[in-house]
A and B are shown apart, each in its own frame.
Chain A
Amino acid sequence: MHLLLQATIAGILVGGVYALLASGQAMIFGVTRTVNFAQAIFAILSAYLSYTLFVDIGLDPFLSVLVLVPAMFAFGGGIYILMLRRLSRSSAELALLVLYALGIGVQGVLDFAYQTNTRVIAPAYADSSWTIAGYQIPVVRFYAFVLAAAVLYALYVIRQHTKLGRALRATTQNPVAARLLGVDVERISAIAMGLGVAAAGAAGAVFGMVIPFNGNSQYDLLSKLLSIAVLGGMASMGGTIVAAVILGVVESVVAATISPDWSAFAFLVVLFAVLMFRPQGLFGRRLRGAL
């Protein structure tokens, strides 16, 4: 029982980081109707940048987020403007392939620049942890969770309580109607892409402290992100967060009780079991032609 609870705590903490990464992807999907297949490598790009900032100028990874989030926002927006805008909205699959290819290109650049040995960002407090009522809480994971929750809250506030957020939600619901009502859909899409990639930037910076990474870990991370997206229901931000925490907990519990080898697989089994009954995911709505 102790082991199970300990694993659940660890799972929830890491689930927060997945949630941040995946809700960025959900935001991009909602507005542009395309799945960002490069979301995982963008997180790893951010992890590498955070690594460089830490090793070269000693910037704390949590502080590097302040630099990386605006940079990744510009990067994401730029990708939309330069690469995705010219593809027609109806060809979401083409945009998906473009992003996938772009991700592989970014991996090539990272593999070239940093070599392929796995790295981990290790600040002084990397190995310390608190013990509360007999349960270990690693400091890094706790702060990572807090950061993820803070960024998610910021995204929530932007989405629900600002004019920009209203435009984002309108475009998610119906791009054509939003355009008729005066929303600049292209601009909103670029901003959504920027926000989504910025979320990957924030998640990546702390991800690099929690899990050792190299360019090739993008597939592992991508597989998790995509499973979360499908389980949560693609465009649903709330569903995505729930799915991410489920993934974190299932993974961590299976790793602790059965074997770490099967942890990722266990979640995929859960995913397919859910899909048998709800093809649109836990919280998704059926969209004609899209899902």
Chain B
Amino acid sequence: MTRFRPAGGIQALAFVVVLAVLPLLFGQHWVVSLLVFTVMYAGLAGSWNLLGGYAGYPALGHGAFFGIGAYAMTIGTTHLGVGGGYRPFLLVVPIAVGTAVVVLPIARLLLRTRAVAFAVLSITVMFMVQTLAYNIRGLTGGSQGIAVPLAPFAADTFERPFYYAMAVLLAVTVAVCWVVRTSKLGLALNAVRDDEDRARGLGVQTELVKLVAFSVSAGLTAAFGAVWAYYISYVFPGFAIDPLLSLGAILMAFLGGRRTLWGPVIGAALIVPAQQYFAYRYGASHLYLVAYAALFLLVIYLLPDGVIPSIVHRITRLRSSHRARARKDQILMEPALTPGERG
């Protein structure tokens, strides 16, 4: 829990500059496309982190909200006639807010369960939304999918508008996470994660803070889904509401470090290029599923705390051993800070 620090400001500034400049450095379409997906997954992992990391509720069904965003975008552009060009991007904000509100009743129901039961129910919600996408053919085109009008952007820099839309959303997500972490809400979510019954006993409004985390997390996820739909311009139930998408975002949060601010971003930067490579290289043979699973298991067994906490742990250890060497007469060493318990 830190208030605004100059170092944090520099981090944020560097992040925004890198985000803004990255696509300008590369001309090849596949690289920029890779960047679009990296930024998208960083944002998805970040918004998952609000509920899955800070609040400790293991949500597995965020694919549902991504899909809701994606279908809202397709329905907005095809049935409601929002128009082409940059105008569909205007839909992103209402879609995010709308999803955040629409999920409230279901969130209330799900949040009555905890831990493993919550994980199970959240993924069940995803399967429900997928069934709806298959069955309400009039709106979604069923299993044949539905096309979004192709964006009329210049072929050379086709990906850029989508990249910047994703980048803005990512910046918003990181900012939201930062605000949550530094506010009372973050403290309350921490308390819920550590011992919800005790937190409630101590007067934390557990129901309210959980609902807020769930709703904001779902709304942000839907926003990414909306931009994604416009980018790939064709939406199938199997792709838009994909169990692997939720799992991918969780994997990235785990790798970077759950409950850290930058962990999801780092996790995505490390994994998405590998993931896209696997899908490109082994996609036809389905071996990419094996590679994906292997990667996930490696992360969980070798780096269960994630990259950032592991590095922080290393540094604090190094520092304390330096200090101990400096003060040889002192017998008691400071205990090294543990980087957040596993949960």
Q: What residues of chain A have their CB less than 8 Å away from a CB belonging to chain B?
A: 29, 33-35, 83, 86, 88, 90-94, 96-98, 100-109, 111-112, 116, 215, 219, 222-223, 226-227, 229-230, 234, 261-262, 264-265, 268, 271-272, 275-276, 279, 288-291
Contacts and interface: CB of A to CB of B under 8 A. Distances in A.
Contacts of B132: 265
Interface string B122-162: 01100110011011000000000000000000000000000
A130 B124 CA distance: 36
B342 A35 contact: no
B297 A93 contact: no
Contact of B114 (A107, A276, A289): A289
Contacts of A279: 112-113, 117
Given A275-B113, A290-B114, 10 more contacts: A34-B116, A93-B343, A94-B304, A98-B300, A102-B297, A111-B285, A219-B243, A268-B124, A275-B112, A289-B114
B294 A261 contact: no
A96 B116 contact: yes
B194 to A, nearest CB: 11
A34 B115 CA distance: 10
B247 A93 contact: no
B89 interface: no
Contacts of A291: 113-117
A111 B286 contact: yes
A107 B115 contact: no
A108 B279 CA distance: 12
**Chain B contact surface mostly:** helix
Given A93-B343, A230-B117, A290-B116, A102 B293 contact: yes
B109 interface: yes
A90 to B, nearest CB: 8
Contact of B247 (A29, A83, A100, A290): A100
13 contacts: A93-B116, A98-B297, A101-B297, A104-B247, A104-B293, A105-B292, A108-B286, A111-B286, A116-B286, A215-B286, A219-B127, A230-B120, A271-B124
Contact of A94 (B60, B112, B247, B342): B342
A111 B289 contact: yes
B288 A96 contact: no
B306 interface: no
Nearest to B106: A272
B250 interface: yes
A88 B304 CA distance: 12
Interface of B: 58, 60, 109, 112-117, 119-121, 123-124, 127-128, 131-132, 134-135, 196-197, 243-244, 247, 250, 254, 285-294, 296-297, 300-301, 304, 342-343
A111 B116 CA distance: 28
Contacts of B292: 101, 104-105, 108
A93 B342 CA distance: 10
A198 B304 CA distance: 30
B287 to A, nearest CB: 6
A265 B297 contact: no
A268 B117 CA distance: 15
Contacts of B294: 105
Nearest to A107: B289
A86 B289 CA distance: 24
A130 B115 CA distance: 46
Contacts of B297: 83, 98, 101-102, 105
A256 B19 CA distance: 54
Contacts of B115: 92-93, 289-291
Contacts of B296: 97, 101, 104
A280 B134 CA distance: 30
B124 A91 contact: no
Given A33-B116, A34-B116, A105 B289 contact: yes
B94 to A, nearest CB: 27
A152 B127 CA distance: 28
A35 B113 CA distance: 15
Nearest to A225: B120
B119 A35 contact: yes
B310 to A, nearest CB: 16
